Structure 1
C-alpha cells in the first residue's frame, strides 16, 4: 500500500507559564501534525515537535516518501538516513539531552513510523497495539505532572490554575488535577527553587496524598552532593528521583550513595548512551520517548534491553496533543516491561487537533482505543484554528530561557546551580 500524498502542518496551542530549570514556558507550545494519504483512501496520522529546525528536517524527507510502501518500515528508515546524512539538530530547551546524527534520524523517522503504523492499522482493520504484538494491558496509567508556575503570561489575565509558587499552592493544584483525572501517582517538575523548598513541597504532597507514589525531577539542577542530600531526606517518600545532576558520571556518583532509584530522560537519550550508563550503574529507571528514541517499535526494543539488565521503564512527556497521546497509549499497552506510570502534559492543555472522545482519563489511566490504527481522527476545524495560532504567534522554536527574562531580567538556567 503506497503513499500518494503527505502533508505537514505546524500548529500552536495555548500553554501555561510553567516553570522549569531553563526558565518558563511561552504562551504557545509548537507541534507538527503529519497526514499521510495512501492508496484505497487509507490515511495515517503522526505528531511530533513543531520547532522550525525539526520541521525543516522533516520537509527534506517528504518528497522521498511518495510512492513508498507503508508496510516497508526498514526501507522508510533507509530513506530518512539517506536524505538527512550527517544532519544534527540541537536540544533547544535543554531538557532532553544532547542531539547527534543518530538522535536526529530517530526523531524524524519516528514521526513517519507512527503515521505508517496508523495507516497499516486502518488498512487491516486493527489497532496499532495489535500490530505491535497485542496488549499487555487494556489501559495505560499516567502520573499527574505538577509544575510550579506563574499565574499568567505577561499582559494576560490569570489562568484557571493561578500561581503555584508555594508548597500549599502546589498541593491545591495536585488536588485539582487528581480530582479531575484520578491520577494515582504524582510527579513534580523541580529545579526551580532552592532544594530545601522543593523538599518541603514533596513532604507536603506526601502528607496530602498518602499512598500516592511521588517523583521529583529537577532537570539536573543540583550537584552530586546536593542530590545525595536531597535523596537522603526524601528516601522514605520518593518512588524515584529523576535527573538530579548532569551526566552519566554525576548520576553514577549519586546512585552509588542512595537507595532511591534514579531515573533519566537526559543522560540516556539514544542507544549509544545505554552501555556506559548501565555499566556505571547510573540509573534504575529509563524514561522512554518514542519521539526521539526512534518510534514505537524502537521503544519496545528498548524495553527488552531494560528488562534484560534489571532497569525499570517509564515514559517521558513533553507538551503534546492527542495524536501523540494515542501513540503513547498504544506502545505502552503493547510493552509488558513498563514498570511505572507514564508522564503526560495532557491536563495543562485546553486545545487539540483530534475529535474529542477517543481518549479519556479514568482513575488516572487511558484505555487503548478499539478503533483501527491509532483510533483517533483529525478535527478539521481545530487543525485549521491551531495552524492559524502558529501563523499568528510568530514562534519558531521553544526558548524557555529568553522568555523567562521577561519576568527575571538577569535569569540564567539553573543546571547544576545548587
Structure 2
C-alpha cells in the first residue's frame, strides 16, 4: 500500500480537513489546524506531503519520527498541527485497512464511554446561568465557562467581583454536583490570578484552566497554594518535550493536549503515558470538528488517566456549521447522561461526507482570533 495524494479542505466554521488516499483505495481523514492559521498549516501539510507520497501509510511511527526530526527546526504550533492531522489520517487508514477501530490497535479500550463537558460562554458574559441550566437539562454533567473579560496586568477589583459573581450564579443555577470548569484563557496575569483563584475557592470548581499563560507558569506554585482547586493547562503545548517540565514542576493537576495541535494520536498517547507516571489527569482539548473529536476519543479509550473530554457541539464558534454536519454517520458520537460513547467503527470511526465537505470548502473561511483592547488602547489578551 502506498500514499498517492494528500488533499486539504478549508471548511466553515474554522476547520481544516485532510484526506490521504492510497493506491489500495483506502482513505484516511485528519484535522490539522491552528485556529486562525488554517492556511499556514495547510502549507505545512503540503510540504510534508512531498516526503509522504509513495510511502507505506502503515509505518506511522517512522513517518512521525521523520516529519518531526527530519527538519532542523522542530516543534511549535504550525508544524506539530500539520503532523497531527497527517498522523490522525494515517491511523484512520491503518484501522480501516485492518477493519478495526484505532483503539484496538492501541491495545484495546479500557472504557466504553467518557464524560464530556459543554461550553456555556463567559467571553462577554450574559445569561451564563441560563446557558448552564440549558446544558444540564440536555444531560451534561459538566460545564466550562470563560472566567473573565479582558484584564490588565493589574486591574480594578470590581472585575474580580464580577467574575466571581458569574461563577456564583452558575453554581447556584446547577447545584452542587455539576462540574464547573473556569477557563482564565491566559487573559489573567499573575497579580490578578492570585486574587481570582482565592476568591473562587468556595465554589468547588472541577478545575481552573490556564490561570496564567503557559510561558508564565513559574507563578503556578504560588497560585496553587492559595486553594485546592485543580489546575489545568496544555492546549498551547505541542509535544512531550513541552510537557516534560510541566510534569517535573509538579504543580499542574490536569493536562489538556490537543490532538490536532500536539502531534496527533501518536504523540498524545506518549504525553498521556508520561502524565500517568506523574499521577496527572488528562482532559484532551477539542473545540474543533468531528475528526479531531474522533481522534480524541480513541486516546480516551486507551488512557487510564483520561477523565473528561471537551467537545464543540453547539459552541458559539460553530455558527456556520456544527460538529455533526460533516459526518455521514451522525450517530457516531452517542451522547447519553453526560457521556459520549467511544466509536467502534473501523479507523477513527467517523465517516466523512466528502461531497458535503467539497461543497462547504467552496465557501471556506478566514476565521481570525478577535483582537481586544483595554480602555487605554493597549492590546488585551483574548
- TM-score normalised by the shorter chain: which range applies? 0.7 to 0.9
Equivalent in 141, 154, 172 of residue 130 of structure 2 = 172
Give SS of 2:32's match: strand
Equivalent in 226, 231, 234 of residue 197 of structure 2 = 231
Task: Give, in angstroms, the shift of residue 74 of structure 1.
Answer: 2.7
Alpha carbons 2:239, 2:271 under 8 Å: kept: no
Alpha carbons 2:85, 2:264 under 8 Å: kept: yes
Q: Distance in 2 between matches of 1:292 and 1:274?
A: 13
1:335 aligns with 2:299: no
Distance 1:377 1:279, change over 3 A: closer
| Structure 1 unpaired stretches of 5+ | 14-28, 87-99, 150-163
Q: Distance in 2 between matches of 1:344 and 1:139?
A: 14
Distance 1:84 1:12, change over 3 A: farther
**Residue aligning to 2:357:** 383
Q: Distance in 2 between matches of 1:224 and 1:372?
A: 46
**Residue aligning to 2:118:** 144
Task: Give, in angstroms, the shift of residue 102 of structure 1.
Answer: 5.3
1:254 aligns with 2:254: no
**Residue aligning to 2:148:** 191
Give SS of 1:389's match: coil
Alpha carbons 1:219, 1:244 under 8 Å: kept: yes
Deviations 1:142-185 (Å, cap 9, x if unpaired)?
Answer: 11112136xxxxxxxxxxxxxx733xx111112223333x2101
Task: Give, in angstroms, the shift of residue 60 of structure 1.
Answer: 0.9
Equivalent in 10, 25, 29 of residue 45 of structure 1 = 29
**Residue aligning to 1:68:** 55
After TM superposition, the structure 1 = structure 2 runs for residues 6-405 of structure 1, keeping only pairs within 5 Å, are 6-13=6-13, 29=14, 31-49=15-33, 51-81=38-68, 84-86=71-73, 101=75, 103-148=77-122, 165-166=125-126, 169-180=127-138, 182-192=139-149, 194-210=159-175, 211-236=177-202, 237-246=204-213, 247-265=216-234, 268-318=237-287, 320-339=288-307, 341-348=308-315, 349=318, 350-351=321-322, 352-355=325-328, 356-390=330-364, 393=365, 395=366, 398-401=368-371
Give SS of 1:231's match: helix
Task: Give, in angstroms, the shift of residue 84 of structure 1.
Answer: 4.8
Give SS of 2:11's match: strand
Alpha carbons 1:191, 1:220 under 8 Å: kept: no
| Structure 2 unpaired stretches of 5+ | 151-158
Distance 1:122 1:283, change over 3 A: same
Aligned residues: 360
Distance 1:226 1:185, change over 3 A: same
Task: Give, in angstroms, the shift of residue 280 of structure 1.
Answer: 3.1
Task: Give, in angstroms, the shift of residue 121 of structure 1.
Answer: 0.8
Alpha carbons 1:353, 1:386 under 8 Å: kept: no
Q: Distance in 2 between matches of 1:102 and 1:74?
A: 19
Alpha carbons 2:32, 2:41 under 8 Å: kept: no
TM-score, normalization: structure 1? Answer: 0.79
